[in-house]
Amino acid sequence: MAQSEAGNARTSFARTPSRNRTIALWAAALVTIALGFADLARGGTTIAPVLLVLGYCVLVPIAILK
């Protein structure tokens, strides 16, 4: 009986499609924010704020809620 419970615990932590989607959302948020800060450091005044708002106000909340 202990063997079957341990086997079930292992499969419950397997990557599911929803977990893959969450990881992809966090990765997209991180990349978007990094690109925004990179453009801001370069002196960008148009694309940088758009990327930062998209990352912080759209992608991060979606990743948290998923």
Residue 2 covered by a domain: no
- Please report the pLDDT score of residue 7 as a whole number: 55
Residue 11 covered by a domain: no
pTM of the predicted model as reported, rounded to 2 decimal places: 0.74
Half-sphere exposure in the Cβ direction for 54 (13 Å, CA): 17
Q: For the chain, how many structural domains are there in total?
A: 1
> Can you give the residue range of the structural domain that contains 60?
17-65
Q: What percentage of the chain reaches a pLDDT higher than 70? A: 77
Half-sphere exposure in the Cβ direction for 2 (13 Å, CA): 0
pLDDT digits (tens, 9 = 90+) for 48-60: 999 999 999 999 9
Mean pLDDT along residues 1-27: 72
| Residue 51 · residue 33 · CB < 8 Å | yes
- Please report the pLDDT score of residue 30 as a whole number: 97
* DSSP one-letter code for 45: S
Residue 5 has pLDDT above 60, yes or no: no
